[in-house]
């Protein structure tokens, strides 16, 4: 009996043992492959960190050199100033990119990043302006000298970090793990080095970058509109008026209490279920955005019908005299941008985007933050110094004009400038070209989709 039993069990046991050996071998191979892949990924990540850090160190040296060139030449060397500042802009842009490639989640470097950002904006805006007519001011030259000295210190500190990292053969992947690791490397030389650099930058004297740079970095807050703070009850009334629904269906809560970004969100309820939300500024109770949660069905209405519905909606809600300036369509939704009109001039800073459902054309959303912060009924618009014919002469002869109009835009220096806007085609693409109505310079050029072009008829000159 035992002989017969062993005869049956032996092949089974043998098969199980062979299977176990094969499974163990495959598991071992799999772990080995995973380990090799992890090691390969670690090496690749380390190489990327090393490259970004060494490139950053190199570009900081170059930045210091270009700032030195800018302050070394005569005050009237406008061509050299322009060349140096464009190089500074290029180098700061590259340095910012390299900083973002480093594991800064474990290293405080915010002050240094802010300095690079401000310097990039300042150098670009200064380089693109007409330095022959608007040369560098004494304050700007003083700023360049200060930045030259500061960049020397930063560059020196970066070299010290680099030298210590090479001497101790430190790895950036270890830096990533160091703060939360229970075991492993205790040397935080790289982290401490970056902390030192950031601390130095924090201690530098705050520079006056000028109004154009300050405007870009100024926080947009309703507090700056000098409007009184409104209560939640007032917001409930505003929301009820906007939707045409009773106040009993409105719920209001405050966002960002105690900060300069404080606002209110009003929710419209139907049978205790939210069907729409509205955001309002705490100062002044101005509507920032509106969102209708209804489900949008298949497309049935045309572009012109959607624009008509959106225009009527704005009129009903008190936004008078808005003109459609751009149209974008995605599946069954249309986003239509409107801008204010003063006289015959389009005021682009005062814009509102309306979202309409293409199933029936009804508005499903509105974004009015630009309008809230930029609307100025007393805005003075100067008369154009150039006539239309002179402005048109600045266009490429091959540009096929389809419409023109006067427009107020914000240029790269964040200044409001009056322009002639020319819409048309060249080289098979649609463009909008904005010619400064005073100087004849091209302020900006936009390539747009055919669907984005407003239904504007060309005016006769």
∠ CA 305-309-314, rounded to 5°: 145
Residue 367, φ and ψ in degrees, nearest 5: -125, 115
∠ CA 65-89-214, rounded to 5°: 115
Spatial neighbors of 263 by CB under 8 A, at least 6 apart, are: 222, 254, 255, 256, 279, 280, 281, 282, 288
Question: What is the pLDDT averaged over residues 47-66?
Answer: 87
What does the alpha-carbon distance between residue 460 and residue 275 come to, in Å, rounded to a whole number?
Answer: 48
Residue 105 CA to chain centroid, in angstroms? Answer: 20
Please tell me the pTM assigned to this model: 0.67
> What does DSSP assign to residue 248?
G
Reply yes or no on whether the pLDDT at 182 is more than 60: no
Segment among 153-167, 206-220, 282-296, 409-423 with least mean pLDDT: 206-220
Strand, coil or helix: what is 436?
A: strand
Closest CA to 433 of 412, 453, 404: 404
Most confident region among 69-78, 169-178, 333-342 by mean pLDDT: 333-342
Match domain 232-374 to its CATH number in 3.30.390, 1.10.150, 3.30.200, 3.30.310: 3.30.310
Alpha-carbon distances of 212 from 185, 216, 436, rounded to whole Å: 47, 7, 18
What is the secondary structure of 350-418 as a DSSP string?
A: EEEEEEEETTT--EEEEE-HHHHHH--TT---PPPSS-HHHHHTTS-TT-EEEEEEEEEEE-TTS-EEE
Q: Within 10 A of 74 (CB to CB), how many other CB atoms are there?
A: 8
CA dihedral for 144, 148, 151, 155, sign (positive or negative):
positive
Average pLDDT, the chain: 84
Output the pLDDT for position 195. 84
Output the pLDDT for position 216. 63
Angle between helices 189-203 and 138-167 (to 10 degrees): 170
Confidence of residue 45 (pLDDT cuts 50, 70, 90): confident
pLDDT 10s digits, 261-300: 778 999 999 988 999 999 999 989 999 999 999 999 999 9
Output the pLDDT for position 167. 81
Question: What is the pLDDT averaged over residues 15-41?
Answer: 68
Closest CA to 228 of 288, 285, 279, 266: 285
Output the pLDDT for position 322. 94
Domain ranges for the chain: 30-217, 232-374, 388-452
Closest CA to 94 of 125, 120, 66: 120
What does the alpha-carbon distance between residue 208 and residue 310 come to, in Å, rounded to a whole number?
Answer: 44
What is the secondary structure of 261-274 as a DSSP string?
A: T-EEEEEEEETTEE
Percent of the chain with pLDDT over 70: 82
Q: Which of residues 206 and 9 earns the better pLDDT score?
A: 206
Residue 129 CA to chain centroid, in angstroms? Answer: 23
Could you report how far apart the first and last alpha carbons of the chain are, in Å? 114
Q: Within 10 A of 456 (CB to CB), how many other CB atoms are there?
A: 16
């Amino acid at each position: 009996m035992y002989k017969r039993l062993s005869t049956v069990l032996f092949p089974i046991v043998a098969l199980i043992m062979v299977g176990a050996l094969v499974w163990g071998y495959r598991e071992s191979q799999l772990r080995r492959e995973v380990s090799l892949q992890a090691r390969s990924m670690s090496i690749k990540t380390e190489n990327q960190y090393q490259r970004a850090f060494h490139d950053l160190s190199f570009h900081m040296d170059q930045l210091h050199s270009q700032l030195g060139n800018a302050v070394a030449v005569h005050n009237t060397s406008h061509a050299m100033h322009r060349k140096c500042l464009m190089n500074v802009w290029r180098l700061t842009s590259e340095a910012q990119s390299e900083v973002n490639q480093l594991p800064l989640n474990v290293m405080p470097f915010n002050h240094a990043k802010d300095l690079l950002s401000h310097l990039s904006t300042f150098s670009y805006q200064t380089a693109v302006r007409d330095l022959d007519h608007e040369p560098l001011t004494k304050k700007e030259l003083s700023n360049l000298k200060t930045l030259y000295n500061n960049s020397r210190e930063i560059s020196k500190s970066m070299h010290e970090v680099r030298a210590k990292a090479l001497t101790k053969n430190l790895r950036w992947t270890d830096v990533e793990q160091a703060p939360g690791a229970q075991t492993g490397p205790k040397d935080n030389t790289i982290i401490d080095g970056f902390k030192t650099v950031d601390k130095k930058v924090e201690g530098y004297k705050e520079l006056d970058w000028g109004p154009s740079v300050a405007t870009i970095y100024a926080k947009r807050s309703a507090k700056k509109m000098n409007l009184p703070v409104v209560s939640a009850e007032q917001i409930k009334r505003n929301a009820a008026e906007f939707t045409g629904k009773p106040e009993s269906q409105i719920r209001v809560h405050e966002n960002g209490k105690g900060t300069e970004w404080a606002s209110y969100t009003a929710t419209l309820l139907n049978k205790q279920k939210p069907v729409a939300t509205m955001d309002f500024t705490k100062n002044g109770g101005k509507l920032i955005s509106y969102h209708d949660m209804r489900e949008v069905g298949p497309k049935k209405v045309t572009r012109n019908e959607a624009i008509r519905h959106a225009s009527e909606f704005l009129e009903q809600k008190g936004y008078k005299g808005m003109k459609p300036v751009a149209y974008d369509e995605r599946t069954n939704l249309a986003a239509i941008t409107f801008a204010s009109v003063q006289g015959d001039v389009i005021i682009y800073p005062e814009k509102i985007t309306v979202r309409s459902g293409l199933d029936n054309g009804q508005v499903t959303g509105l974004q009015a933050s630009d309008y809230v912060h930029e609307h100025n009924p007393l805005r003075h618009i100067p008369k154009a110094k150039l006539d239309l014919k002179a402005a048109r002469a600045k266009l490429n002869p091959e540009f096929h004009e389809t419409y023109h109009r006067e427009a107020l835009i914000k240029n790269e220096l964040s200044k409001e400038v009056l322009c002639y806007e020319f819409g048309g085609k060249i080289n098979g693409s649609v463009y909008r070209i904005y010619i400064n109505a005073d100087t004849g310079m091209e302020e900006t050029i936009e390539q747009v989709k055919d669907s984005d072009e407003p239904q504007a008829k060309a005016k006769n000159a």
